[in-house]
Amino acid sequence: MKAAVLCSAAGALLLTTVAAAPAPGTPGSPGTPGTAELRGTAVAVARARAAGIDFGPCAAADLPDPPAGVRCGTVTVPLDYARPDGPRIRLTVSRAPATQKDPRNSKRKVPRQGALVYNPGGPGASGMYFPLIGALPQWRRIAAAYDLIGYAPRGVGRSAPLSCADPEHFVTAPTASPVHPSQAYKRERITRAKAYARGCVQRSGTAIRFYNSLNNARDLDVLRAALGESRLTFMGASYGTYFGALYAAMFPSHVRRMVLDSAVNPDPERIWYRSNLDQSAAFEERWADFRDWIARHDDVYRLGATSAAVQRSYDTARERLAGKAAGGRVGPGQLQNTFLTAGYYDDYWPSRAQALSAYLHGDPGPLVRLAAPSQETAAEAENGSAVYTAVECNDAPWPEDFAVWDRDNTRLARVAPFETWDNAWMNLPCAYWPVSRQQPLDVRTGPGELAPVLILAAERDAAAPYQGALEMSRRLAGSVLVTERDAGTHGVAGGPNHCVNGYWEAYLLEGRVPARHASCAPRPEPVAVASGGPAGKGTRRDALRREGDRR
């Protein structure tokens, strides 16, 4: 699963077929819910409630130059919840107090409703910037009622950070991105995947096995207690919806309100190998949506008047870059990474189309500016990559025979070539993971066990395919799904869709949910402009990948 951009739809703040797996809940797996972990969580919660969080000025490494009122602190959690008196780690936390100012009536004071905790996804994304979101118009009513709470999950940033490779050597570019890799290329990637997996343990130690989704959910309960909240109000995006659902299943009576935005599929059989295959298939459809849009605006971009013609233009660029990298740094791998972001956010369609057009018509500058990796962000990207790998590899069994990966991805790449093999290489270290893995929790709640949960999804989301939202709604009894029809932007709350925002605000501010699943018309398509529009580089997960082939 990939990281989400916090409120990317608002165009603002960047904050992500195999043999059946063994049955969930096999005893002895690290992180499997059990009596010891439950007791350890209770101990950690009691300590956190007593200690609270001493908020003060934010360190530059956590949140540089925060606005007035935004403060930072830490909360202590056990490394291993089965041993709460053993090693402990600190998670960094940020907070903006509720303004209690009604943005529609400056004379009206808004009652404070407590803390709203946010996670932007990943695994490996930090939510430390979340308190800044209250300055955006779409968030001001939420910011009036809630303290906005961001945090860096275990392993991220200064929260007991993980590392799997030397950041100085993490960035390599230009790189290849073969749609149908040769046997020699596959052998090379296997070697690199094995080395990367070994590097995770060499640089972070065997304690890396405790960096998993179940512990992320337990950490969330400790954070709730440290904030002085009797029940949790939580909003998770992308991967954040998965451990939010774990939290709901593990601590249903602790949930006050929960928004799951761009929900992933919590079915244990899809965590995480099959989920990534689903994702690659969905990206092919979204790539086709983007090509169709470019073709409709051939008068602007001159890349072809049909989807097939646009594909030929893209293939031409990839072949040229394989022969000579643009700016010495942008090869086929960087091209693919940059266009992958358009599969996440259609706000990025104009900038990507314009960059491709300019490159094919003799000006590589826009493409280089978008796609060239930066050494300045290498350390952050390497850390995020390490957390992504550790969590996904620890969470569940993966095929350990490359022949399975080769079979499944070769078949899929015949019909979905755009993202399939790059996604496989991203996750291949999990085939050679050197520490024990856990079994995924079977996420389910019964009628009346859990407060109503609001699930938001775009029907053509590629990073979190829509089937996952349907499965999530089936498993969380009493949940309600709001669908943005015929749309594919990853992360829909707080964006330009007033219908979606109406449901979202009514839920967080008043606790109201629709009587049944609801839907909203799609947001407007991007406007085709030659200047390219927003030029953001995409999600945290994409930021990791665009740094180059680090494995």
The one-digit pLDDT tens for each residue of the chain (551 residues) are 444 433 333 333 323 322 223 233 333 344 456 789 999 999 999 999 999 999 999 999 999 999 999 999 999 999 999 999 999 999 999 999 999 999 988 889 999 999 999 999 999 999 999 999 999 999 999 999 999 999 999 999 999 999 999 998 888 899 999 999 999 999 999 999 999 999 999 999 999 999 999 999 999 999 999 999 999 999 999 999 999 999 999 999 999 999 999 999 999 999 999 999 999 999 999 999 999 999 999 999 999 999 999 999 999 999 999 999 999 999 999 999 999 999 999 999 999 999 999 999 999 999 999 999 988 899 999 999 999 999 999 999 999 999 999 999 999 999 999 999 999 999 999 999 999 999 999 999 999 999 999 999 999 999 999 999 999 999 999 999 999 999 999 999 999 999 999 999 999 999 999 989 999 999 999 999 987 666 654 443 333 332 333 33
Q: Can you give the three-state secondary structure of 449-511, one letter per residue?
A: CCCCEEEEEECCCCCCCHHHHHHHHHHECCCEEEEECCCCCCCCCCCCCHHHHHHHHHHHHHC
Quote the CA–CA distance of 79 and 98 in Å, as a whole number: 31
Q: Among all residues, which ones are annotated catalytic?
A: 238, 461, 490
Quote the CA–CA distance of 223 and 44 in Å, as a whole number: 10
Under a CB-based contact definition with an 8 Å cutoff, are residues 173 and 333 in contact? yes
